Structure 1
Amino acid sequence: MAVVVGGLPVVDEAKHGKLLNVVKKIFGQVGTVVDIHMPFGANGKTTGFAFVEYEQEAHANDAVRTINNFALDKRHTMLVNKYEDIERYQKTPTEFVPPKVEKFVEPKNLKTWLMDPARRDMFVLRHGSETEIFWSDKGELELDYAGDREKKNGKQWCSQYVLWSPQGTYLATFHPQGIALWGGDKYEKRDGAGVGYHHLDVKTSKMLRAFPAGKPTGAKGEVVQGLMTPFKWSADDKYVARRGKDVISIYELPSMKLLEKKSLRAEGVHDFFWSPTDPILAYWAPEGNNVPARVSLVELPSRREVRQKNLFNVSDCKLHWHPNGTFLCVKVTRHSKSKKTMYTNFELFRVQEQLVPVEMLEVKENIVAFAWEPKGTRFATVHGEGQQRLNVSFYDMDGGNKAAKEVTLLYTLKDKACSHLYWSPLGNNIVLAGLGEINGQLEFWDATEQQSITVQEHFKCTHVEWDPSGRVVATAVCQPLDNSYYKFTMDNGYTLWTFQGKQLLEEKKDAFYQFLWRPRPRTLLSEKEYNNVVKNLKKFEKRFDQMDRLKERERLAAEKAERNRKEQEFQELLQKRLATAAARRAEYIALLDGYDSEDESEYIVQSHTYDDVLEVKEEVMRK
């Protein structure tokens, strides 16, 4: 695949080799160059054009995107086009033919599920060969779609896993051939792409850019298992980034062009995460070549380093952003100089404060789990040296009741059967879950009141997830899709609980693979408007109570109507059978030689009296 380069300097044969090396160096940064041809004109000088041939078409496409309009010097700007495009332009007819105006088609509403009058949440199930989407309302389920259209065509809707888009607009189904997107009230298929990593504008189904589907690797080149995609999106969807060797490549959307035509330099970068709310990227790099490990926060598009923290004797780091982007927790696993002893501390960044102050919290015990409270300043940790009984501690970044803003231990729960933490999306309520070897113990905890609401159990539980409203918790026992024999098969299924731990529904499913709540879009309310709604919640309670009463009356009326229908069916069947029996009565009597077994006058009534001794009692009387 070749590209045509224009705008080059016109030079004689003496300078031809030097210019050729410059062009080769620039275009060689994109991919492997097979050949470069720079023709001469009749005057013995170059024509200002060159032909660059690549091994792969993808490299030629990248050259057009990244080098086109590149300034070689003050007087020369390179113009890069694909050779096949030049040929196509030459074949353009001289006479203009107006394009056919297609009839406007009203775009389908992809948000219809948000218009549900009862404000119900949805979830998707994957089990066996089935993919089912349900409405959920206080444990009552209503099937919305189960791939009936695909079944009629002899196809299976999904053969692997499913995934909701971040705002719940689309459902992605995974197949050996690729990924399909579905949206709208009838879950119609959106046009997609083929093999590799493709970035699409889902509104137009136009492919923005494609990348070869290589295996994701670590900082040292090792293959990293379990990563579905090496790309990570910024909170405002303006950027998408992927990690390379010593760099983070950041692409602007929707053009998919490299930001400022160069990657962000990040020596030894091991992993990175975007802030959930701001265009801030946090990454960490392990120590090496006498350089300490470090955590860096970079603001984009300015590339200004907001904060950097050097770390010593580091074995591993885990980055945890607060959902509101206000804090960043770096869980640092350190080792002693002998590397025989491991210990943990937290580096807590106050990201939205001036100069981004950092506090260190050291925990002497092994850290099993960490979780931020979604709406608040608290976080919880699970720590301890055992496997079955661990401790759970709650902290506050704002000092609890103290005047000073500093991380403060609120309280610690001793000897809890807990290995994972699941906060409600609304905060305050948290599920202390004992998964794995603890076999599914669930404690519903009120963090503010510091009291247990209830303790439940879902045996062999592997998955816990709150619905977006914070009203319902789903727990599930799922098995891997690629394992036909699995030890939890008999326990597979899911259970729905209220936020107070009351069981709403329990369903057993063989070959159960996935349970996923459908996410909701970001709220359009400002923080002030949201707080005002919470403050005046009692005003809205009457409306919802009225809706609940109306729904209950409708349910009772439906039950009564069903009862009346069944009773009417019974009476109709009874009368039909009585009429049939009456019509055959004469024939029946004739078969019995005139004897009518239902005529009471044919019977002889005889009465007999029998005496039975029920009890004999003897008493000795004194004289």
Structure 2
Amino acid sequence: MADAEVERRMRGDTCTISTRRRTYRRIESKAGSSRSPEESYLQFIKIETKNPPTSIPCSSSLTRRFFDRPLDSKCFNVGVGALDQLFIRDGTLDKLIWNDNWSVDETVSFFRYPADKKLPSRWSPLGSFFVSSNYNLVIIWGSRYYTDFGRLMRFNHYQVEEFDISPGEKYLVTYNRPDPTDPNGLWLKIFDVSTGTGIVGLNNADVADSPQWPVIRWAGGKDDTYFATLSKSNTVSVYETKTFNLLGKAPLKLDDVIDISWSPTEAVLAILCGEKPLKVLLLQIPDEVKLAEKEITAIVGDCKMHWQSNGEYLAVNTYGGFEFFRIKEKGIPTDFLKVDKKILAFAWEPSGHRFAVIYGDEPTLSVSFYSMKTPGKVTELTTLSNKQADSLFWSPNGNLVVLAGLKEGKLEFFDVDRLAQISSVANVKANQVVWNPSGKYVATVSTIPQEEFDSDWCSDPNDPLDRFTIWSSGGDCLFVHQCQNRIMQLDWRPYGGIIDDDMVKTQ
């Protein structure tokens, strides 16, 4: 029966793509709920900020559209290493590292700050600043020169547990678990990053239907105009940030919503809903125009949505393969790819038309590369058999991919243009493989969950689990750095907020 269903889907018998542009209906009352329509969604309240910042901090941010300070060319100087800044959490310290030559066994940490092991730190989405948190604060750090890295803003939130920065870096969201015993307390706040002031929040008066983190699902692009929430009762609500009010004054009328996912580049919301069969729905926000709708056969727990980084394609796991939506083509046509074995990994080529799939039964797996370039056809480029790769990591520039057998400690650097292996490395102790934004370097590291860190644990200076390694894009080992403690986080600084076309032209 399963094979027949797959073959039927390959012929397109169940396609229900809408050719009409119609607006999706909104919910008037929540079925099975005693709550009124006005209470069936999160209602943001304005925050009255005490003693708001009165001036821009002395240390200028790397985000010049916020703080109106021109970037110094030294921030772009490769000799200084500003383009290859690396964040690591080394035990109880957050460290930001730059190095002008990764082949030299020496690093300079230009920022060191005590870290609360239970709370995250991270770069902002465009790399304009660094964000850390402690018991009651979220702090934004930045600099104009690589030598004057300092604190730019502080945001107060009692017992903060998580935070998020909007894609365009305009808003900061802070969160702690709702506490019904404190009805006046705010469990979520949204701040204006440019001024440091609170805008709106959510209180504990009614938390029965409050969603889990991440509460705010931001629409794609850098405008930060819309976001959505998915409640515990599977209600989807879409808000706009001009007033932080609900669009249409009511949630969307959708049954059995499983997950939602925005396009990374525009306000197109993909919604996975239904039971038997499941359904993928694409809505254009704010007009809620239904762009496409299609039934799929899938196992709910394994059904995932994968957007290509430019928002040109959407892949959805199905029973027996993948359903592909060609977002930029007229009518949003779909293709089906049959994969009749267990799928371990899937990844799009950044800004490209290719993707890779790892499938099969361990320990020997297969890796296949495909192209979406030909309209109406998913073209197989090559299949690599008998591989020990359980994960795959595309270079930000595309073309190159690292096939990683993290369980076996093996890395294979593969050129997808030439469909040829570049190099292979064995005995790598790592559970993460991270490309830098330029695609020149790859970092490998073995991290541990923050809750497992033991500050009394004695580090072995030769322990491979206490180090990170920098590789060239061709698989050459350039640099090994031994840390003092177990590593809990590692990430490269994004380029989006640091570099623009004018700066590139001047170099």
* Range class of TM-score, shorter chain: 0.7 to 0.9
Q: Which residue number in structure 1 is paired with residue 329 of structure 2?
A: 353
122, 126, 141: which is aligned to 1:167? 126
Question: What is the correspondence of 1:168-567 to structure 2 with a 5 Å cutoff?
Answer: 168-185=127-144, 186-195=149-158, 196-212=187-203, 228-236=213-221, 237-244=224-231, 245-287=233-275, 292-312=277-297, 314-315=299-300, 316-332=302-318, 334=319, 344-385=320-361, 387-399=362-374, 405-435=376-406, 437-438=407-408, 440-457=409-426, 459-484=428-453, 490=463, 491-509=465-483, 510-521=485-496
Amino acid at match of 1:376: G
Q: Could you say what the CA RMSD is over the residues aligned between the two structures, in angstroms? A: 3.5
Q: Gapped runs of 5+ residues in structure 2?
A: 1-34, 49-53, 64-70, 159-186
- Classify 1:456/1:238 alpha carbon distance in 2 versus 1 (closer, same or farther; 3 Å): same
How far the C-alpha of 1:313 sits from its partner, in A, is: 5.5
Count of residue pairs brought into register by the alignment: 410
Contact preservation (8 Å) 2:59, 2:150: no
**Deviation per residue, 1:161-206 (Å, 9 max, x gap):** 3111110122222323353332334231413131432211100112
Q: Secondary structure at the match of 2:428?
A: coil
> Highest relative contact order (Cα 8 Å, sep 6+), 1 or 2?
2
Contact preservation (8 Å) 2:259, 2:271: yes
Amino acid at match of 2:420: Q
Please say which of residues 451-460 and 346-355 is displaced more in the overlay.
Answer: 451-460
- Classify 1:508/1:355 alpha carbon distance in 2 versus 1 (closer, same or farther; 3 Å): same
Matches of 1:213 and 1:465, distance apart in 2: 39
**Deviation per residue, 1:420-479 (Å, 9 max, x gap):** 1100000000000111x32x2110000111111111135331111110111100110111
Matches of 1:303 and 1:511, distance apart in 2: 48
Matches of 2:368 and 2:56, distance apart in 1: 59
How far the C-alpha of 1:229 sits from its partner, in A, is: 1.9
- Classify 1:327/1:168 alpha carbon distance in 2 versus 1 (closer, same or farther; 3 Å): same
- Share of identical aligned residues, percent? 29
How far the C-alpha of 1:207 sits from its partner, in A, is: 1.4
Please say which of residues 389-398 and 507-516 is displaced more in the overlay.
Answer: 507-516
Amino acid at match of 1:517: W
Q: Secondary structure at the match of 1:482?
A: helix
How far the C-alpha of 1:411 sits from its partner, in A, is: 0.8
Q: Secondary structure at the match of 1:260?
A: helix
Matches of 1:31 and 1:285, distance apart in 2: 22
Matches of 2:249 and 2:230, distance apart in 1: 16
Please, what TM-score do these two structures have when normalized by structure 1? Answer: 0.60
Matches of 1:357 and 1:487, distance apart in 2: 58
Matches of 2:56 and 2:199, distance apart in 1: 24
- Classify 1:187/1:262 alpha carbon distance in 2 versus 1 (closer, same or farther; 3 Å): farther
**Deviation per residue, 1:553-608 (Å, 9 max, x gap):** xxxxxxxxxxxxxxxxxxxxxxxxxxxxxxxxxxxxxxxxxxxxxxxxxxxxxxxx
Amino acid at match of 2:241: L
Matches of 1:345 and 1:406, distance apart in 2: 15
Matches of 1:275 and 1:413, distance apart in 2: 31
Contact preservation (8 Å) 2:265, 2:311: yes
Please say which of residues 476-485 and 180-189 is displaced more in the overlay.
Answer: 180-189
- Classify 1:313/1:512 alpha carbon distance in 2 versus 1 (closer, same or farther; 3 Å): closer
Quick check: 1:121 aligned with 2:84?
Answer: yes
How far the C-alpha of 1:136 sits from its partner, in A, is: 3.5
Amino acid at match of 1:233: W
Matches of 1:104 and 1:365, distance apart in 2: 57
Matches of 1:198 and 1:457, distance apart in 2: 47
Please, what TM-score do these two structures have when normalized by structure 2? Answer: 0.73
Q: Which residue number in structure 1 is paired with residue 14 of structure 2?
A: none
Bigger radius of gyration, 1 or 2?
A: 1
Contact preservation (8 Å) 1:130, 1:146: no
Matches of 1:250 and 1:493, distance apart in 2: 43
Q: Gapped runs of 5+ residues in structure 1?
A: 1-26, 33-57, 66-81, 85-101, 151-155, 335-343, 534-539, 545-623
Contact preservation (8 Å) 2:348, 2:355: yes
Q: Secondary structure at the match of 1:375?
A: coil
Q: Which residue number in structure 2 is paired with residue 606 of structure 1?
A: none
Matches of 2:271 and 2:39, distance apart in 1: 27
Question: What is the correspondence of 1:56-71 to structure 2 with a 5 Å cutoff?
Answer: 62=45
- Classify 1:524/1:127 alpha carbon distance in 2 versus 1 (closer, same or farther; 3 Å): closer
